[in-house]
Structure 1
Amino acid sequence: MELAITGSNNKLTVSDAVFGREFSEPLVHQVVVAFRNAARAGTKAQKTRSEVNGTTKKSKRQKGGGARHGALTAPIFVGGGVTFAAKPRSFAQKVNRKMYRAAIAAILSELNRQGRITVVEAFDVDAPKTKGLVAKLKDLGVGQRPLIVTEDATENLYLSARNLPYVEVRDVQGLDPVALVGADSVVMTTDAVKKIEEWLA
């Protein structure tokens, strides 16, 4: 299949396996959830009744004082332990390489079918100025949340997009499913498209 190059009469021939793949919602959902879970710290920690600071001596006599209680470190008391205390753990989910690459290809294919991929010969700014990047994006007519993907993003491009909260700049190595799913449109250079094809082939 072929992708039109904005601002040029030429077309870029791409692989159907990468940009024409059938969309699989369960696969994409699994990969996106796994990717986001991998970023979770999992450092929440609470104390059980054996770990809180306090004596374990029986607080009052067994009979004659109302309710029968033992140590004040019990969960029913203020300052006591937590019943099912959270402990540090990993939220990581197993996703093999083949599934991950298939999900990326499925997302790119769906974006292509919806006309949300814009291919350009090159994309860069001369100076680290936000105004220059905004003008470039306006000329391309992309959505409110564009994702710019280049083969090797320059420092000027990163700095220009830094003050734009809904604009993301990634090189091919930094491309991930969450960034693709969250973008209204994706602006890709021809070199980036070729590198993505080599990666997902």
Structure 2
Amino acid sequence: MELNVIGAKPLSVSDEVFGGEFKQALIHQVVVAYRAGGRAGTQSQLSRSDVSGTTKKFKKQKGGGARHGDYRAPIFVGGGVTFAAKPRSYEQKVNRKSYRVAIRSILSELNRQGRLKVVEGFGIDAPKTKAMVAKLAELEVSGRVLLVSEDANEALYLASRNIPYLHVVDVLALNPVSLVGSDYVVMTVEAVKKVEEWLA
């Protein structure tokens, strides 16, 4: 199949990468796993055994109402937490093949909906926000826009950082959450070739 390149001749690409089936369940699984992998998982509370203090029984067993052992019990102020949270990993396993199929499926759906645009280059040589705003107007994109470059250089990044909802990544940083959360994805021809090489 061919992708339309703005201001240039169409680019031949793989049907498998940019014209595949939309697999909603797989995309959902991959997005959830990707976001879960970004969780810190550093929450930590003190359990009964972690709280400092004596373990001496502070009252006799019988005749004094409720029976207690020491003040580190969860019902006392300053005691341990009953089911204390401990550092853990939220990572979910996703096979590399499944991950690539999900990315292909997202790109294919973006292309079908006309939300994937391809350009020869962004033409941003100086870190000027004004130039980037003009470029976006020329491309007729709005909302949350993801720019994918073969090499997200400093000028491109600096020109974009003051524009709300505009995100710049290189091919190596391309991920399912950024793709799914974007209204438009703009890629350079070289970036398309690298993505096709990666996902083919």
- C-alpha distance in 1 between matches for 2:16 and 2:83: 48
Query: 2:150 is matched with which residue?
Result: 151
3-state secondary structure, aligned to 1:43: coil
| TM-score, normalised via structure 2 length | 0.95
Unaligned runs of 5+ in 1: none
- C-alpha distance in 2 between matches for 1:65 and 1:120: 81
- C-alpha distance in 2 between matches for 1:54 and 1:132: 64
3-state secondary structure, aligned to 1:112: helix
- C-alpha distance in 2 between matches for 1:47 and 1:22: 49
- C-alpha distance in 2 between matches for 1:71 and 1:24: 57
- C-alpha distance in 2 between matches for 1:196 and 1:84: 46
Structure 1, residues 87-113: CA drift from partner, whole Å, max 9, x if none? 111111111111111010000001111
CA contact (8 A) 1:124 1:154 kept: no
Structure 1 residue 187 corresponds to structure 2 residue 186: yes
Query: 2:29 is matched with which residue?
Result: 30
Q: Per-residue deviation at 1:36?
A: 1.3
Structure 1 residue 90 corresponds to structure 2 residue 89: yes
Q: Per-residue deviation at 1:79?
A: 1.0
3-state secondary structure, aligned to 1:197: helix
- C-alpha distance in 2 between matches for 1:163 and 1:65: 68
Structure 1 residue 78 corresponds to structure 2 residue 73: no
- C-alpha distance in 2 between matches for 1:25 and 1:193: 23
3-state secondary structure, aligned to 1:101: helix
Structure 1 stretch displaced more, 183-192 or 39-48: 39-48
| TM-score, normalised via structure 1 length | 0.95
- C-alpha distance in 2 between matches for 1:137 and 1:101: 29
- C-alpha distance in 2 between matches for 1:81 and 1:130: 54
- C-alpha distance in 1 between matches for 2:58 and 2:19: 71
Query: 1:43 is matched with which residue?
Result: 42
Structure 1 stretch displaced more, 157-166 or 189-198: 157-166
1:110-149 residue pairs with structure 2 within 5 A? 110-149=109-148
Give 2:187's aligned amino acid. Answer: M
Structure 1, residues 67-95: CA drift from partner, whole Å, max 9, x if none? 22221111111111111111111111111
Unaligned runs of 5+ in 2: none
3-state secondary structure, aligned to 1:106: helix
3-state secondary structure, aligned to 2:6: coil
Query: 1:172 is matched with which residue?
Result: 171
CA contact (8 A) 1:151 1:171 kept: yes
- C-alpha distance in 2 between matches for 1:34 and 1:182: 15
